[in-house]
């Protein structure tokens, strides 16, 4: 969500400072790689696009 909302590049979640911050918040949490993030964003975009398309068709 942060990447899309703030228009961050996919690799922003893999920079050293961000990783340290996440590790301090929850050492057990493992961030997904940027490829996984990219796929998730693409999937969510397609789902939102289809939902909007359906709304337009049915109005």
Tokens matching residue 11 = 């690799």
What is the tally of structural domains in the chain?
1
State residue 29's pLDDT score. Answer: 93
3-state helix, strand, coil in the chain (%, to 5): 75, 0, 25
Note the pLDDT tens digit of each residue in 27-57.
999 888 878 888 988 999 999 999 999 999 9
Cα gap 55→1, rounded to integer Å: 23
Domain span at residue 30?
A: 2-57
How many beta carbons lie within 10 A of that of residue 34, not counting itself? 15
């Amino acid at each position: 969500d942060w990447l899309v909302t703030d228009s961050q590049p996919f690799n922003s979640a893999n920079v050293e400072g961000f990783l340290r911050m996440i590790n301090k918040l929850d050492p057990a949490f493992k961030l997904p790689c940027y490829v996984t993030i990219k796929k998730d964003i693409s999937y969510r975009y397609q789902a939102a696009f289809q939902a909007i398309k359906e709304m337009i068709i049915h109005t």
